[in-house]
Structure 1
Amino acid sequence: MADGFSQMGASAPYQVTEADRVAIAAAISQDEIVELALTLGNIPAPSGKELEVANYVYDWMAREGFSPRKVWATPERPNIIGTYGGKGPNTVGGKNLLFTAHLDTEAPTWNPDLDAYKYSPETLANPEWEKCWLEDGKLYGYPIANDRGPMSCFMIAAKALKTAGYELAGKLYLTACPGEIGPEPIEEHRGIAYMGKDIGAHYLFHHGGVAPDYAIAAEGCDFGLTWVGCGYAVFRFQVWGDGVFTPLLDHPEASAQHPNPIYKIGKLTDAIHAWSGEWERASQYVSPGGVANPKSQIAAIRGGIPFAFGAGTELVNLYLEVGLNPKQRVADIQHSLEAMVRDNGLGRIDIEPVVVRHGFEADAREVAPLVAAVDDATKLSLGHPVALANPVYSSMWRDHNVFNMHRIPAITTGFRRWRPTPQDLVDSALVYALTALAVCGRASPAEGAKRPASAVYPDNPFGND
């Protein structure tokens, strides 16, 4: 395998062959997968409003015989879980593989009283927020890129396995989850209506009746893979000062001497900017499963009440987003930010995290059979080994973090992230299908089951599963 994966010393649980590739590829229709991706992509589903697209996925799985279920913390935002396989006799066995993708799509809030403070009118008018289409051989629209295109690929992969007559020994879980993009409950935007990740794949893992041996977060990775995922924290800086009635104000010579804390923001942002550069340089994390480059930037600022003017304000809140690599902890950032404030003589500033999500990575030895399965599938489908994903894909949160958090070896992998072609969708579906076969195995010898790889290679360090 490329990028050092060949040094991991593992084989996929089951072997896949050229004959498997031919049979499964024949069951994948480019027209069907493009139609499914466009249909899903054109159902508006910003975070908090995933119900319509969730119902469509549920109905599709029901029509195709994948026995879907809804599992939810709130009925307006369900997780959808379909299953296939899991019928292998104990003498043959088979591993369970879970695919997941998120239903929600990056978008403005569509609340004009909020969006006016973040977006230009031209940005809000961009049709790609909620519209998807095929043009000049490329697929347009944010929902296809993130994440209903990859979702369509594993749905069609499962259908292709079924159509081609591959009953799986292990169980294949097909899951579609709300809230992966966000939001997060902060300040007055509180409660379950503002929850994201807590009610998605995390809730599904704990309450969804799933027992995966391995998991794949299906997202655009340009056909690479990584088992590293970053976390993030949002820190609130409460910058304190004094409110002084404007007619009584003595204009100070320097802005730093002004009693209004808004005037401290310039010096604070300069200090944060310098700190963020040092944080990025110190936080790079290099491992066999991916390179993480956690970064940081100011997300928002708020202070005062515009219509209640006359005496400035006593308080300004600044919100800083900070990425965390899989080895970093929130307390490390807290101490570092407090030192930054002290060293710059910024006066009274209270700092606390209002969101915390740590990053995670799979154990390299435990994830190796899954990586080998993707590699075998990629070689058969694309004609080359799988490569390590670009660092951007291991420098963000993706829901493979949920499973690695709970010791389920998990990766993220998928098609070309930006402007995928119809052939990209077909290729990705084939990679997913062959990966599922290589992990789950066929249901019985009478149906042509492959011997476990450990039986073919007796020195397999992962044993005769």
Structure 2
Amino acid sequence: MSLDFKNLPEAAYAVSEDEVAALAAALDKEEMTRVALELGNIKSPARGEAEAAEYVYQWLSKEGFRPRKVGATPERPNIIATYGGKGDGKSLLYTAHLDTESPVGNPDEDALKFRDSTLEQREWTECWLENGQLHGFPIANDRGPMTCFLFAAKALKACGFDLSGRLYLTASPGEIGPEPIEEMRGIDYMGKEIGTHYVFNHGGVSADYAIAAEGCDYGLTWVGSGYSVFRIKLYGDSVFTPLLESPELASDHPNPIYRMGAAVQSILDWSRKFETESRYECEGGASYPKAQIASVRGGVPHAFGAGTEVCALYLEVGLAPNQQIGDVHRSLEAFLRESGIGEFELEPVVVRHGFEADENKVKPLVSAVDLATRLATGEPLKRAAPIYSSMWRDHNVFNMNRVPAVTTGFKRWRPTPEDLVKGALIYAVTALALCGRAKQSEGGTAIKPVYGDNPFRGGET
């Protein structure tokens, strides 16, 4: 489903054919591949982003961008650099995250979640080029797109295309988590608060527009979903095992662990209903929230002898941008009461709402990305698949603060070195079209996007 523009503003700056050619020539595929692999092969799980942050800092320093480290803790800094800002053009911020989903490296904790064979997968922390494709989760999420916008800025600088507006380059920790829950509390377990949230509030940035650079298969969405985690505590009675008289039905057992089966079925019934009723679509994307039990806890295994009085299930629930936590809380609580699962307590221990950009205010940004995508790929921009707008991405941080933001990026799975170059060219042309040249040069044929009626015609990619 391609974009069909009408009534959109033209790009702030009409990018010329000569400028596009110069930017493309400035992008070195081999160098980009080398940097993406070097950066991707740095182990950077959640809470362990320092070495990857240092690599980005040193790269930006070497390329003359004068980066800064801004963070809630020195161990988990955000890296921020600025290019341009020589006139009164609009500013654009690129953000990507340094952390990548992976086992945490603590054998005791990892054994609670993963099979041994899963822990042995190379792609958690290792990246390589094979048969023309880039392998490894760190490049796919999210240091490949990060490499793209770093080289986009390098290309603009190498071509002497100074920008009227400011271009911010930010690499942040904490986008994939974790979240402080139960005894895992305090700043050591902070996730999003110390990442892009921190950049927005304390990073010295004043973006007019923002792009979360992440794999979107060259699509774009200005919708972002949120999520919550509900703790469902089941209560019962502790009975000394030698005195216990086991009932026929698990539902009659004093130990609440025995009621988990009925509770799980009730949660699944509610989840299916919730998922059906929560689908949300707008011009900028589709959000399909899902729900799944993430964890189960009950009793103390080394202090046995009388069962337990408390056990808990932890339910992850996605949130579309039109949903509020209070409504979801009431819906789940009423359903569980009616299900008759016995004494329970429900509490949302994590809440992050989803957001979407204002359709009219985001149009200049969408227009610039469309122009850049057409020039880099030969194809019109498409609305990103629902998966990319049904999860948290850091464009939420800007949309919640009334800064129009989107997420867009190259091929998510098994990108190629050519995808790195295309992604960088898209980001470079987008910045040039949106921020404008500080001192426009003569020559070249102006390339202007073709505008239609609607950012998105409707339908899916």
Question: What TM-score do the two structures reach when normalised by structure 2?
Answer: 0.95
Partner residue, 2:369: 374
Structure 2 CA distance for aligned equivalents of residues 109 and 5 of structure 1: 44
Deviation at 1:307, TM superposition (A): 1.4
The reply on whether 1:247 has 2:242 as its aligned counterpart is: yes
Task: Identify if the C-alpha distance between structure 1 residues 275 and 8 changes in structure 2 by more than 3 Å, giving closer, same or farther.
Answer: farther
AA paired with 1:412? T
AA paired with 2:162? E
The reply on whether 1:195 has 2:194 as its aligned counterpart is: no
Paired residues of 1:8 and 1:365 also in contact (CA < 8 A):
no
Per-residue CA deviations over 1:428-460 (Å, capped at 9, x if unaligned) read 000010000001110124577999989xx9xxx
After TM superposition, what 4+ stretches of structure 1 lie above 4 angstroms from structure 2? Answer: 2-5, 446-454
Structure 2 CA distance for aligned equivalents of residues 137 and 64 of structure 1: 27
Structure 2 CA distance for aligned equivalents of residues 11 and 337 of structure 1: 47
Structure 1 unmatched runs, 5+: 458-465
Is 288-297 or 340-349 further displaced after alignment?
A: 340-349
Q: 1:42-441, aligned counterparts within 5 Å?
A: 42-88=41-87, 93-441=88-436
Paired residues of 2:228 and 2:317 also in contact (CA < 8 A):
yes
Per-residue CA deviations over 1:135-186 (Å, capped at 9, x if unaligned) read 0000000000000000000000100111112111111000000000000000
Structure 2 CA distance for aligned equivalents of residues 415 and 181 of structure 1: 19
Deviation at 1:11, TM superposition (A): 2.3
Aligned residues between the structures: 451
Deviation at 1:53, TM superposition (A): 0.8
Per-residue CA deviations over 1:26-74 (Å, capped at 9, x if unaligned) read 0000001101100100111101111111011011101111110011100
AA paired with 1:253? E
Task: Identify if the C-alpha distance between structure 1 residues 84 and 294 changes in structure 2 by more than 3 Å, giving closer, same or farther.
Answer: same
Structure 2 CA distance for aligned equivalents of residues 439 and 56 of structure 1: 28
Report % sequence identity.
Answer: 61
Structure 1 CA distance for aligned equivalents of residues 444 and 364 of structure 2: 18
Paired residues of 2:18 and 2:444 also in contact (CA < 8 A):
no
Is 214-223 or 439-448 further displaced after alignment?
A: 439-448
Structure 2 CA distance for aligned equivalents of residues 379 and 451 of structure 1: 14
Paired residues of 1:441 and 1:449 also in contact (CA < 8 A):
no
Structure 2 CA distance for aligned equivalents of residues 18 and 279 of structure 1: 50
Structure 2 CA distance for aligned equivalents of residues 159 and 3 of structure 1: 30
Paired residues of 2:53 and 2:77 also in contact (CA < 8 A):
yes
Deviation at 1:12, TM superposition (A): 2.1
AA paired with 1:66? F
Question: What TM-score do the two structures reach when normalised by structure 1?
Answer: 0.94
Task: Identify if the C-alpha distance between structure 1 residues 199 and 447 changes in structure 2 by more than 3 Å, giving closer, same or farther.
Answer: farther
After superposition, the CA RMSD in angstroms is 1.8
Per-residue CA deviations over 1:171-217 (Å, capped at 9, x if unaligned) read 10000000000000000000000001000000110000001110000
SS of the counterpart of 2:406? strand
Deviation at 1:3, TM superposition (A): 4.2
SS of the counterpart of 2:197? helix
SS of the counterpart of 1:364? coil
Task: Identify if the C-alpha distance between structure 1 residues 96 and 452 changes in structure 2 by more than 3 Å, giving closer, same or farther.
Answer: farther
